[in-house]
Structures are given as structure tokens and as C-alpha cells.
Chain A
Amino acid sequence: MRQIEVARVTQAVKAAAITANYEPGADLLAALARGAEAEESPSGKEIFRQLLENARLAKEERIPMCQDCGLAVVFAEVGQDVHLVGGDLDQAINEGIRQGYGEGYLRKSLCHPLTRANTGDNTPAVIHTEMVPGDRLKLTVVPKGGGSENMSRLFMLKPADGLAGIKEKVVLTVEEAGPNPCPPIIVGVGIGGNFERAALLAKKSLLRELGQANPDPEVAAIERQLLKEVNDLGIGPQGLGGRITAMAVHVLMQPCHIASLPVAVNIQCHASRHQEVVL
């Protein structure tokens, strides 16, 4: 058994939360640059230009890319040969979020659902822990904005609805969202599993490097078709009209019950932030 002190988890989560909010990934920057080239609408081109300038400023001037520094989603893949010592994993992760959002001058965006009183330190994080083979601990910190999360949907379709039904719901979700989730967006789609798994698949699909196709050619084909249909809507950057409503559609699929066809659509704004660290 390899021992890992949970204090290292706190340090790693803290650093990842700060980096994710200040330093856009190379995949995102490349996608924004491609968009600035490819977009036909003048206002859409201008939006891409602003987003590239915003990304540069964020990193150089140490201002978060977006004031919505997100609810912190943390994926923890724990190797089954790892022994975590010195405390509780969830507490260590939350402590990392608390310190990162405090010391990193990030906005604290969590509140009591009814009184709306702010929790003051952006905790609790939404933590997904998974056991995997090996003796490593992989942590992925995903600050997720509220505006795009609000436009996400879950559908329990009938098996008879098939691929056509899935496409209809994905396109409908993007259409209804319109300008609200800060297009150009990334569309995460989870197909199959059950009620909660479909949503988790949709979220997980957003962790993939932006624009990289699903390795399964059948799923990759669905991604290409969905991207075309979504962009045919003409919503464009910031909803001002244009060719690029979505920079990518990512799909994850797994078997489901013979009675069901769950489909989840998780909308990600252009401020796609995720930071990975392996201990």
C-alpha cells in the first residue's frame, strides 16, 4: 500500500482551484483561436477576439477569467493500492477549496438553497470519488458556472425515441438556452446508464480535451452530427447570431435498462475550466 497524506490533497486541490480560474487551458485557447478564424458573423468574430483578450488578461493580470468562479466539482480517482492517512478525504478536499477560493481571491458562490445565505467559503464541493486500479490518486478540479449549469437538462426517453429522439432533445436544450449560458458553449451529453448516471456521464464528458473525439467511432459520429445540428441553430457567440454556437459536443455512452433511454445534456460555457493533478 502506498501512503498519501491527505494534507497533500488539500495543497493540490487549492493550487488546482486557483490555476483553473486564472489560466485557461491550451485546448480552450486553441478552440477560441479557431473560432475567431472560422466565425462568419462580424459580431461573433468580435466576441471571440474579446474572449482571447480576456484569457490573456486573466493570466497576466491575475484576474479570474470569469467572476463566476464556480461551484467546485472535484473528481477523485483513488487507486485501490493507496492508503490515505492523516484525515478524511472529503474534508481534505473541502479544505483545499476553502483555502484556494480564499487566498486566490475567487468568488464564493455557494449558499443555503432556501435562505440563500452564502456559506462564505465556496464549500461544500461536489465530490465524485471512484476506486480505480493502481497506487495513484488523481484529482480533477472543475469550477462550474451557474449560468450554464442552469441551462442543463435530463430526459428519460422511450427506447422507441432512438437516436432521432436523443438529437431532438440535445438540439432543443441548446435552442432553449439560446444566449443565456454564454455561447460559444461546449455540450456534454450522457446517453444511457440510469437517471443519475446519465447526468454524471454528461459532466464527465466535459473533462475530455476540448474537441477531441470519443475513441468509439460510433459515438464520435454522433458527436459530429450533433455539433452540426447545434450550430445550424445560428445562435452564435453570445447569442448575437453566427455559425459557432458550440465549439464541441462531447458524448459518453453506456448500456441502460431495456425500458429506458436516459439522456442528459450538461451545458458548459466557454470558460471551460478543469485542472488535473496526480499524486
Chain B
Amino acid sequence: MTKTVKLIAPLTDQDVLQLAIGDTVLVSGVIYTARDAAHKRLVDMLAKGEPLPMELAGQIMYYVGPSPARPGRVIGAAGPTTSYRMDSYAPTLIKLGLKAMIGKGKRAPEVIEAMKTYKAVYLGATGGAGALISQRIKTAEVIAFPELGPEAVHRLEVEDFPAIVINDCQGRDLYEQGVREYRRTVAR
């Protein structure tokens, strides 16, 4: 049976260990945004031994490049981007204590393995529901790389941000399970 869990970011090991694939989570608290260009910068900074713009331990990274906020609004549309493009960077960040990633789409085996080893989870938000998801974002502030435009790192305060557990700390994968249930053709 799947369950609904309220999470307050930043997270502890206990927070993520209780989660199983298919669970719905409602995230509140502070999360950070980063996509392709920001991940490259972060990993380059680590390689040079420079301090990162945020503490990684316990954090949630949201793979998103929001559209611009209208005057008086917090943010524009803010749905997830496809996560596999961050796969080459993710294990490095997970090793340093990142506890969860929010995105959409499949992860590489080495990311799933890193989540198992270092106790982290991958959460799926609804791709293409950028207007709907933006309603759960209460504040947004660019904290690094403003020159990257939509790819800048934002600090977001979220309230009951909805997502589904796609990969848990046991190395399981909701996408594989879901497709098995509904597939009518023989797998190639």
C-alpha cells in the first residue's frame, strides 16, 4: 500500500528511509533549483575545492528552469525538467549528502546505485504542469549564477509541493513497476 508523507526540507536519513516507490510526498520548507548549466558549475566548483552557494547535506534539488515571474508574482511556470541530463553530476552531489532530487523521467543505474548507497530518493513531479506546480511555491530568490538566466540557482520556499517517489533507498523503480502492470506486448 502506498502512503502520503509530509516532508519538511532539509531532510534526514530517517525521512527518506521511510519512503517507498509510489508514495506521494508533500514537501514543505526550503529547496534549491539547478539544471544543466548550474550542475556543471557546482561540480566544477567542487573539483576546484571552492565552497558551494548552498549547504548540500539534507537538501532537496529541484530540476527546474522557471519562466519569468510577472510583476507582483513569486515565480512563473515551474514544472520539472527531464532528469537524465543531470545523471553525470548527481552521484557526486548525493555523496556529499543531497537527500532528494525532484524531476521527471528515468535515472541512470549509477544514480540509482548512489541513492541506495548514500540514502537518497528521487521524486517525480508532473511534467508539463508548470502553472499548477507554481502555486505551491511561496518565495523564490536567485542565490547563484544569475547570468545563467532561467538556469540560475534559486532558493525556493515551498508548501505541500506534490511529488511521487520514483526511486527509493532500496534501489526500486516505480517506472519499471508501473509499465509491467499495463504492458500488453512482450518486452524486447
Chain A partners chain B: yes
> Which A residues lie at the B interface, using CB under 8 A?
40-41, 43, 47, 50-51, 53-54, 57-58, 61-69, 105-109, 116, 118, 120, 145, 147, 150, 172, 175, 178-182, 229, 232-236, 238-243, 269-271
A55 to B39, CA, bound (A): 30
Q: Are A65 and B77 in contact (CB under 8 A)?
A: yes
Q: Are B67 and A105 in contact (CB under 8 A)?
A: yes
Q: Are B66 and A107 in contact (CB under 8 A)?
A: yes
Identify which of A63, A68, A236 contacts B178 (C-beta below 8 A). A236
Please tell me if B148 contacts chain A, counting CB pairs below 8 Å: yes
A67 to chain B, nearest CB (A): 4
Q: Are B150 and A54 in contact (CB under 8 A)?
A: no
Please tell me if B132 contacts chain A, counting CB pairs below 8 Å: yes
Q: Are A64 and B77 in contact (CB under 8 A)?
A: yes
The 10 lowest CB-CB distance pairs between A and B, nearest first, are A241-B178, A234-B182, A234-B183, A180-B105, A182-B127, A63-B131, A67-B77, A107-B67, A232-B184, A54-B132
Can you list 24 pairs linking A and B with CB atoms under 8 Å apart? A41-B182, A50-B129, A54-B129, A63-B76, A67-B66, A68-B130, A105-B67, A107-B76, A118-B149, A118-B150, A120-B149, A179-B104, A182-B104, A236-B178, A238-B127, A240-B124, A240-B164, A240-B175, A240-B178, A241-B177, A241-B180, A241-B181, A269-B127, A269-B128
Assuming the contacts A53-B132, A182-B104, asked whether A67 and B183 have C-beta atoms less than 8 A apart, the reply is no
A54 to B133, CA, bound (A): 8
Which one of B81, B124, B132 has the highest number of Cβ atoms from chain A below 10 Å of its Cβ?
B132
Please tell me if B12 contacts chain A, counting CB pairs below 8 Å: no
> Which B residues lie at the A interface, using CB under 8 A?
36-37, 64-70, 76-79, 81-82, 84, 104-106, 124, 126-132, 134-135, 148-151, 164, 174-175, 177-185, 188
A53 to B126, CA, bound (A): 12
A238 to B132, CA, bound (A): 15
| A172 contact set on B, CB distance < 8 A | 188
| A106 contact set on B, CB distance < 8 A | 67-68
User: Closest A-chain residue to B66, C-beta based?
Assistant: A67
Identify which of B37, B76, B104, B177 contacts A116 (C-beta below 8 A). B37
Which one of A43, A120, A239, A243 has the highest number of Cβ atoms from chain B below 10 Å of its Cβ?
A239
| A118 contact set on B, CB distance < 8 A | 148-151
Q: Are B77 and A178 in contact (CB under 8 A)?
A: no
A79 to B52, CA, bound (A): 56
Q: Are A229 and B82 in contact (CB under 8 A)?
A: no
Identify which of B128, B164, B178, B182 contacts A270 (C-beta below 8 A). B128
| B67 contact set on A, CB distance < 8 A | 63-64, 67, 69, 105-107
User: Closest B-chain residue to A168, C-beta based?
Assistant: B188
User: Closest B-chain residue to A241, C-beta based?
Assistant: B178
Identify which of B69, B130, B150 contacts A65 (C-beta below 8 A). B130
Q: Are A105 and B179 in contact (CB under 8 A)?
A: no
A65 to B128, CA, bound (A): 7
Assuming the contacts A64-B77, A180-B105, asked whether A54 and B130 have C-beta atoms less than 8 A apart, the reply is yes
| B148 contact set on A, CB distance < 8 A | 118
| B66 contact set on A, CB distance < 8 A | 67, 107
Q: Are A234 and B184 in contact (CB under 8 A)?
A: yes
User: Closest B-chain residue to A62, C-beta based?
Assistant: B70
Identify which of A62, A63, A178, A235 contacts B130 (C-beta below 8 A). A63
A243 to B181, CA, bound (A): 10
User: Closest A-chain residue to B64, C-beta based?
Assistant: A67
User: Closest A-chain residue to B129, C-beta based?
Assistant: A54
| B180 contact set on A, CB distance < 8 A | 234, 241
Q: A69-B77, A233-B184 are in contact. List 11 more A-B contacts (CB 8 A).
A: A50-B129, A54-B132, A58-B77, A65-B77, A68-B65, A105-B68, A118-B149, A232-B185, A234-B179, A239-B105, A239-B106
B88 to chain A, nearest CB (A): 15
Which one of A43, A58, A180, A238 has the highest number of Cβ atoms from chain B below 10 Å of its Cβ?
A238
| A232 contact set on B, CB distance < 8 A | 183-185
Q: Are A67 and B76 in contact (CB under 8 A)?
A: yes
